[in-house]
């Protein structure tokens, strides 16, 4: 296939590698007629550009382009671009992730398992690049980074990317010795946790008002849908454990006390990455600014989330999450609670707070459990599908 029949994407001049071999080809559009682009290669894969040469390109050409098939190589090179800050790099990575998520959720295209597999591979590349950018971040720094990124009309895109970033930093806090492959699983699971919403009408997914019983019943099917979609593809991708991804997708709405859906699983029977995703899911839903509702401060968000600890959220992981939010004074003032059926995956016109019942026994969630084991980082545990069994063996 000639280059003219291939897809291209535009790149900023500041993201072109300098004094290092390029892992992609650089093109320009030589046609001034819209819809009749003609791409011409101006620099080859493997060549090394100087700062002066890139500046010369900037003066000479309006825009640079790279082959879509080389996007993953471009993403991996971003971390080496010294002139671009983390916000700029994250914006590029986010835009690429949205390209892949759009391929999954685009209603205009007929869904195929092959198409989904290609999109998942692209999502993995985006996660790999994001890990390089935020590898030394804590929760608070990720939250600030997200606040500086642009947002899009489709809630699922932004929310999934944000959840992925929070999953990466919380998992690394839980297991500082985690392998690169396991960290990728945490981020990829967060990015794909709402995969099953492919089969839910967007009129329901994007409804910021209160869902009726029939609509909410439909929403509750998305974990099963997502698990089935992965199983139908029978995917085999280097570095990706689809059994783990499937469990994250299927279990991220399970509650720690067994009241969640779709299977009423409880406690450590829920995969650790699904429990981490549940925390990331909840936190992003109430702290990320959207056009249709105000959000809570970090302090207030932790106060609200804390009222669900032991019921909705894993106490140990949430305690670790709080500890990973650095340099803030925890003085949350929101005393109301969110209802048991609050769904972080849904956009909300206003957060549906309810008054705390008179007999509600409030807890100081920031003191943590008095047990010596509470909040302890279990750095010697893997995230394999038999993670719970391994954990018990190692603890004995």
Tell me, what's the pLDDT at 45?
Answer: 95
Mean pLDDT of the chain: 83
Judge contact between 352 and 337, C-beta under 8 A.
Answer: no
CA atoms within 13 A on the CB side of 34: 0
Residue 396: pLDDT over 50: no
Give the pLDDT score at 220.
93
User: Residue 253 in 3-state DSSP?
Assistant: coil
Which domains, from first to last, does the chain contain?
Answer: 1-84 (no CATH), 89-395 (1.10.3210.10)
Does residue 284 carry a pLDDT above 70? yes
- Other residues' Cβ atoms within 10 Å of the Cβ of residue 176: 9
- CA dist 224 and 50 (Å) reads 52
pLDDT, one tens digit per residue, over 288-342 is 866 455 678 888 889 889 999 999 999 999 999 999 885 444 454 556 677 666 7
pLDDT at 228 over 60: yes
CA separation for the pair 167, 281 (Å, rounded): 9
Residues 190/167, Cβ–Cβ less than 8 Å = yes
Residue 351 banded pLDDT, cuts 50, 70, 90:
low
């Amino acid at each position: 296939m000639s280059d003219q029949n291939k897809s291209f994407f535009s790149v900023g001049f500041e993201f072109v590698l300098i004094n290092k071999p390029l892992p992609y080809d650089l093109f320009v559009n030589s046609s001034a007629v819209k819809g009749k682009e003609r791409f011409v290669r101006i620099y080859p894969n493997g060549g090394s550009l100087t700062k002066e040469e890139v500046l010369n390109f900037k003066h000479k050409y309006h825009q640079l382009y790279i082959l879509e098939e080389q996007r993953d190589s471009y993403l991996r090179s971003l971390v080496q671009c010294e002139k671009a800050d983390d916000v700029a790099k994250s914006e590029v990575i986010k835009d690429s992730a949205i390209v892949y998520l759009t391929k999954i959720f685009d209603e205009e295209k007929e869904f195929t398992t092959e198409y989904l597999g290609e999109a998942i591979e692209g999502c993995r590349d985006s996660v790999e690049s994001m890990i390089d950018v935020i590898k030394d971040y804590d929760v608070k720094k990720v939250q600030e980074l997200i606040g500086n990124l642009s947002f899009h009309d489709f809630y699922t895109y932004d929310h999934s990317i944000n959840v992925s970033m929070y999953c990466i930093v919380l998992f690394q806090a839980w297991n500082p010795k985690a392998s690169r492959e396991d960290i990728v699983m945490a981020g990829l699971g967060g990015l794909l946790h709402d995969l099953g919403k492919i089969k839910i009408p967007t009129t329901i997914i994007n409804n910021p008002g209160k869902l009726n019983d029939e609509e909410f019943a439909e929403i509750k099917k998305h974990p099963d849908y997502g698990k089935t979609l992965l199983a139908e593809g029978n995917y085999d991708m280097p570095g990706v454990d689809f059994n783990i991804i499937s469990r994250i997708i299927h279990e991220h709405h399970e509650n720690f006390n067994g009241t969640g859906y779709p299977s009423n699983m409880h406690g450590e029977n829920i995969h650790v990455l699904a429990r981490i995703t549940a925390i990331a899911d909840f936190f992003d839903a109430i702290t990320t600014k959207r056009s249709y509702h105000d959000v809570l401060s970090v302090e207030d968000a932790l106060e609200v989330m804390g009222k669900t600890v032991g019921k909705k959220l894993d106490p140990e992981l949430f305690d670790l999450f709080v500890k990973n939010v650095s340099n803030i004074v925890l003085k949350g003032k929101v005393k109301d609670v969110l209802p048991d059926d609050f769904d972080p995956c849904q956009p909300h016109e206003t957060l549906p707070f309810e008054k705390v019942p008179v007999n509600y026994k409030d807890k100081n969630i920031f003191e943590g459990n008095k047990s010596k084991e509470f909040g302890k980082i279990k750095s010697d545990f893997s995230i394999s599908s038999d993670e719970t069994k391994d954990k018990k063996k190692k603890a004995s």
